[in-house]
Amino acid sequence: MSRRWLFADQLGPHFLDERKQPVLLIESKAVFRRRVYHRQKAHLILSALRHRAAELGDQAIFLRGETYGQALRTVREPLEVCHPTSRRALEFVRERDGVTVLPARGHVTSLEDFADWADGRRGALRMEAFYRFAREHHGVLMDGREPAGGRWSFDTENREPPPKDGRLGVPAPPMPKEDDIDAEVRADLDRWAREGIRFTGRDGPRRFPATAGEATARLRHFLKHRLAAFGRYEDAMLSTDPWLAHSLLSSSFNLGLLDPVEAVRGAERTYRRQGAPLAAVEGFVRQVMGWRDYIWHTYWYFGKGWGDSNELGARRSLPDWWRDLDADAVGARCLADVLTGVRDRAWVHHIPRLMVLGNYALQRGWRPAELVEWFHTRFVDGYEWVMTGNVVGMSQYADLGRMTTKPYVAGGAYINRMSDYCGGCRYDPRQRLGEDACPFTAGYWAFLARNRSRIPANARMARTMKQLSRLSDLDAVVAQEKRRGSDPP
C-alpha cells in the first residue's frame, strides 16, 4: 500500500483507506512566512498537524522544515495524495514525480457530482438548486422522493432575533484542554515571532478541536444539546454570547478532522430518532452539505479568474486598523464587538462575517481580493477555497450575481433587528445624516447611489432603488460618507 501524504487540512481518518496505512506529514515553516496569520489560527494548524503525527507514531514519517520541496527531497518512495484544497497546492503536487493525485475527500458531494449537475444546466448555478440535487442524490432528509416535512427550506423559521433576555438556554460548547503539544506550539510560535515572522490577533487558549477525537466530541455535544436551538437563532447576534447555538465545527471540517457526512447523518438521526426540530436540522444540513459543498465546488468550477472579479470597481485598500484588528479604534458598537471577536478568538459566526464585516467593506468599496486574503488568514476556518466564494461571490457581489441575486448590503435597521448592539451605541441606526448617523445606514445609501448603474435592475432590488431615487438628502449623505472614507467609525 502506497504511503499517503496528508496535507495539514487532511488530517482525519477519512483521508486514509486503511487505519494502518503508512503516512507522510510535512510541517512547512515557509507557509507562515508567506502570509500574516492570526496567531490562534497558526496555533490551531500546527497543533492539529503535530497531534496527528503523535497519534500515528511509527506509522507516519513526520518532516519538519522550511519548505515542502525540501522535505520531499528526502522521501524516496512513491506517494499518493488526495486532491489538495488550493490551486497552488494542486499544481505543486501535479509537478512532482512519483506522486499520484487521488480524488478530493472531505465533502459530502464529489467534484464530478457537481460538474455533472452544473454542466447540464442553463442559467445561474444557485446554491438552492445544487442543495436539492445533493439531498436527492445522497438521500439526506428525504421521505421517499419528497423532502422531509414537504419543504426543501425552513429558512423563514430560522431568522429569529435573539431573545430579549440574551439567553438561549443552551449549554456552552465544550472547550478542548491544551496539552504538552500545545505548549510546544506556543513556544515555537513565540520564537518564530522573535525571528521576524509576523502574526496578528491575540494569542489565547485553543478553543477549536485539534484532533478527530475532540471534533467528534464537539459534534456529539452539539447534536445532543445545541442543535435544537441552532435553527431559530442562527442569524442572531448577541454582544454577551458569541457562540449562541452554533456548532463551532467549521474549522474541524476544514482541517479535515471531521467528516461532514458524519455530521449530516448525525443531524438527520437526531430528527428521526430524538425528534429534534426539522427546521433546525435542515438549517444545519443546509450549512454543511449545501453552502459548504457549494462554496468548495464553485472555487474549482468557476476557475481561476473568478477570484479576481471586481465588477463593482472597488478600489480602496483595507485600512491598517482593519488589517491589524484594532477594535479599540472603533466606536460603532457592532463593528467594535465583531472585530474584538476576530482579534481575540479568530472566529465570529456567519452573520457578523456577512452582515457586519462584509457589509461594511462592501459599502466602503474595499478591494475584494484583499478581503479574501484577510478572511483567509484571520479566521480559524479560513482557506482560499472557503473565502473566495464567500467573499467575492456572496458578501462583495464582485461577480455581479453568479452566486446571489442581490448584494448582501444592509443598513443599521437590519443589525438593530438581529442583535442587541444598537441600544448601547453612540450612533442611531435610523439616522443617515449628521453626527449620530449610523455608518451602516449612511453607508448603505451611499453604496446604492455609487453603484446604481451597476446593480442589475431585478425584482428583488426594485423597491430599494425606488426608495433611493426619492431620498432628498442623498447628495449630502454621499458627501458625508466620502468625508468619512475608511476611517474607523
Which region, judged by CB under 6 A, interacts with ligand SF4, from 121-129, 331-339, 401-409, 461-469?
Answer: 331-339
Least Å distance, CB 470 to ligand SF4, is: 22
CB of 422 to ligand SF4, least distance (A): 3
Using the rule CB under 6 A, is 338 a contact of ligand SF4?
no
Collect all residues with Cβ–Cβ distance below 8 Å to 34 and sequence separation of at least 6: none
Interface residue with ligand SF4 among 299, 347, 374, 440 (CB under 6 A) is 440
The three three-digit cell numbers of residue 183, written as one number: 505548549
Q: Does 362 bind ligand SF4 (CB under 6 A)?
A: no
What are the cell numbers at 46? 500546527
Stretch in the footprint of ligand SF4 (CB under 6 A) among 2-10, 76-84, 271-279, 329-337 = 329-337
Per CB under 6 A, the list member of 296, 427, 444, 447 interacting with ligand SF4 is 427
Is the Cβ–Cβ distance between 414 and 421 less than 8 Å?
no
Residue 439 CB, nearest distance to ligand SF4 (Å)? Answer: 5
Cβ(377)–Cβ(37) under 8 Å? Answer: yes
* Shortest distance (Å) from residue 336 CB to ligand SF4: 9
Helix (H) or strand (E) holding 481: helix 474-484
Number of residues that bind ligand SF4 (CB under 6 A): 15
Minimum Å gap between C-beta 333 and ligand SF4 is: 4
- Could you tell me which stretch among 130-138, 151-159, 234-242, 412-420 binds ligand SF4 (CB under 6 A)? 412-420
Interface stretch with ligand SF4, choices 40-48, 83-91, 167-175, 326-334 (CB under 6 A): 326-334
333 scored as a contact of ligand SF4 (CB under 6 A):
yes
Give whichever of 227 and 425 is closer to ligand SF4, judged by the CB atom.
425
CA–CA separation, 86 and 91 (whole Å): 9
Choose, by CB under 6 A, the member of 81, 280, 334, 361 that binds ligand SF4: 334
Residues 40, 203: contact at Cβ < 8 Å?
A: yes
Alpha carbon distance 126, 405 (integer Å): 9
In 3-state terms, what secondary structure has residue 130?
helix
CA-nearest of 85, 158, 11 to 385 is 85
Q: Does 46 bind ligand SF4 (CB under 6 A)?
A: no
Which residue in 11, 223, 415, 478 binds ligand SF4 (CB under 6 A)? 415
Rounded to whole angstroms, the Cα distance separating 223 from 276 reads 9
Count Cβ atoms within 10 A of the Cβ of residue 86 and give its class: 0-12 exposed, 13-18 middle, 19 or more buried.
middle
Report the nearest approach of ligand SF4 to the CB of residue 479 (Å).
19
Q: Is 53 in the site for ligand SF4 (CB under 6 A)?
A: no
Q: Are 489 and 435 in contact (CB under 8 A)?
A: no
Rounded least distance, CB 330 to ligand SF4, Å: 9
Secondary structure (H, E, C), 55-97: HHHHHEEEEEECCHHHHHCCCCCCEEEECCCCHHHHHHHHCCC
| Binding region for ligand SF4 (CB under 6 A) | 332-334, 412, 415-416, 421-422, 425, 427-429, 438-440
